[in-house]
Structure 1
Amino acid sequence: MRKLLCLLLLASYACASPALVIPANSSWHMQLDGDLHFPDRHVYDIDLFDTPKATIADLKSQGRIVICYFSAGTWEDWRDDAKAFPKAARGKALGDWPGERWLDIRRSDVRTLLAKRMDVARSKGCDGVDPDNVDGFSNNNGFKLTKADQLDFNRWLAAEAHARDLSVGLKNAVELLPELADLFDFAVNESCYRYNECDGYQRMSSQGKPVFIADYRAYNATLCSRAKASGYQLQFFKLELTEPGTPCR
């Protein structure tokens, strides 16, 4: 019944959170490339396409929570479904990421393809999804996307995930937290301390939702103290995300 209700409410983006609640103090591992490492962490944030179903099942049998990463706002030329995205939906290139372009997230055909990715997440046994690049409106995307376009898309993502009983995280997009914090189940941020943006996550933290922060620099005890005081889970990574990070001690 709950799934049917969520489907009926997709148009208004009003679905409630899924049954799985990720504890706010969860240890976590994020790895998006290379042979998967298996540190003793509660939550694994790993690539949707590259991680076999059997690996996800094994992690879950050990009591892990598995979050499956995919890019929702960009086209990546190496993905299995890359050719399915219309050329007209592919915008400007991301300068630091070869083979990647912004997507026109307003298009229904793009959303249909992204919904299929969430179907894959569900069929593989993922507990949740980490859709990346959901802040295209604030970048040189080639489509003149507006804040309203982005909010509509991000609300759609949350509703689609919840309709599949998947938890969903808000990736970066700090400026959208006032409108979206209540709709997402956790947050994944990159370098918010570097840009003095971490305070924006207090709304999610106060709701008991996990805030996972990745910082790409050497271990910093001062930042760890600040993160602990805020209830955030801070970890220090190499930019390539091919190996475990160093969590705050």
Structure 2
Amino acid sequence: MHQFLNRLIGKPGPVIARFRGIGLLAGILASCVGVSSAYATGIDAGGIGHKSGQKQAFEMQKDIPSDARLMMVAAATQGNANAKPVRVPDARFFLQLQGDVTAPAGTRVIDADLFDVDSAQVAEWRDAGIYPICYMSAGSYEDWRPDAGQYPKSVLGNDYEGWPGEKWLDIRQIARLASIIKARLDLCREKGFMGVDPDNIDGYLTKTGFNLSRDDALRFVRWMASEAHKRGLTIGQKNAPDMVRDLAGVLDFAITESPVTFDHAHYFAPYVAQHKPVFAIEYLTDDGAIRDFCRQMVERGFQGINASQALDGSNYYCNE
């Protein structure tokens, strides 16, 4: 976690391990200077997660965890060029990235971890009319993930500050990352998710160990969007406000953290103008501040929630 955020809210708990983009906020806001207020974007989410079962052998081996077997099948699956993504509902959003995920009544869109949720759970959500989105870190390496051994050393950069076992990726090397990202998108689809929440696309705003640029990030995100859409998946923007003017017409929704606290909500206008949902998240504790946040989100046409910093599903909904 960036020291800037630590000074603001103190030492973060497991929560921000999942949604960490605020850690890059100083750089993000600085990058937005001169960007028209008609443009919009968010602040990001990440994931510390727990160690998953490692991929050991072939699908037929019964001692491999079911998700690892499924991942091996997904990795061998070609994208379906004829698949058509289903529009994300502009409706009540539920976020839970820690613990057993249980969506409350009224949930229409859910964001949950790609590896921590199994296909049976996703099927239950879809049967209940809920639109499931898979969370994955696209711009960082996490050593607890089952595919961690597939990352070549050449793409691994500086440690992600504050999170042991995580490193920034050289997203310029799409050719070296392609098989890993594609396998994750395949897994997302095979599990039944309908959309993708790609984290850490804004490494160019921090010290990654690579000379990343905004153009590098745009190239990487556009490539991911193409691959997601081939598989019939929608894909959202996670943060990087200065990229909204280029991505709002390409991506399908946006997720932003602390848009009122850090005064960047107005950058999301293009998504709303294109009838694409913006899911806004705050971590406020003062009742008055929560009411003000919700008032602004309703006025802007966002789906707003005030979440527990444990990201345990304890959400207050603005649009009830």
TM-score (norm 1): 0.90
Q: Supply the RMSD in Å over aligned alpha carbons.
A: 1.6
Equivalent position to 2:157, from 91, 101, 118: 91
> Which residue of structure 2 lines up, in the alignment, with residue 234 of structure 1?
304
* Structure 2 CA distance for aligned equivalents of residues 5 and 23 of structure 1: 22
Secondary structure of 2:172's match?
coil
> Which residue of structure 2 lines up, in the alignment, with residue 129 of structure 1?
196
Deviations 1:14-34 (A, max 9, x none): xxxx4411222x101111121
Q: Is 1:30 aligned to 2:100, yes or no?
A: no
Task: Structure 1: state its 5+ residue gaps.
Answer: 7-17
Contact (CA 8 Å) 1:37, 1:244: kept in 2 or not? no
* CA displacement at 1:5 relative to structure 2: 7.1
> Which residue of structure 2 lines up, in the alignment, with residue 186 of structure 1?
253
* Structure 2 CA distance for aligned equivalents of residues 90 and 34 of structure 1: 29
Contact (CA 8 Å) 2:202, 2:240: kept in 1 or not? yes
Q: Kindly, what percent of the aligned residue pairs are identical?
A: 37
Contact (CA 8 Å) 1:105, 1:111: kept in 2 or not? no
Q: Is 1:82 aligned to 2:156, yes or no?
A: no
* Structure 2 CA distance for aligned equivalents of residues 28 and 101 of structure 1: 29
> Which residue of structure 1 lines up, in the alignment, with residue 119 of structure 2?
53
| Code of the aligned partner of 1:230 | R
* Structure 2 CA distance for aligned equivalents of residues 39 and 86 of structure 1: 41
Q: Is 1:113 aligned to 2:180, yes or no?
A: yes
* Bigger Rg, structure 1 or 2: 2
Q: Which runs of 4+ in 1 moved over 2 A?
A: 3-6
Secondary structure of 2:182's match?
helix
* Structure 1 CA distance for aligned equivalents of residues 182 and 201 of structure 2: 15
* Structure 1 CA distance for aligned equivalents of residues 81 and 224 of structure 2: 17
Q: Superposed, which structure 2 residues align to 1:191-210 within 5 Å?
A: 191-210=258-277
Equivalences, count: 236
| Code of the aligned partner of 1:38 | A
* Structure 2 CA distance for aligned equivalents of residues 62 and 104 of structure 1: 39
* Structure 2 CA distance for aligned equivalents of residues 28 and 147 of structure 1: 29
TM-score (norm 2): 0.71
Secondary structure of 1:158's match?
helix
Equivalent position to 2:280, from 198, 213, 217: 213
Q: Is 1:169 aligned to 2:239, yes or no?
A: no
* Structure 1 CA distance for aligned equivalents of residues 159 and 312 of structure 2: 23
Deviations 1:188-231 (A, max 9, x none): 11112222111010110111111001111125111111110110
> Which residue of structure 2 lines up, in the alignment, with residue 10 of structure 1?
none
The 1:151/1:190 distance shift into structure 2, 3 A limit, reads: same
Task: Structure 2: state its 5+ residue gaps.
Answer: 1-79
> Which residue of structure 1 lines up, in the alignment, with residue 11 of structure 2?
none
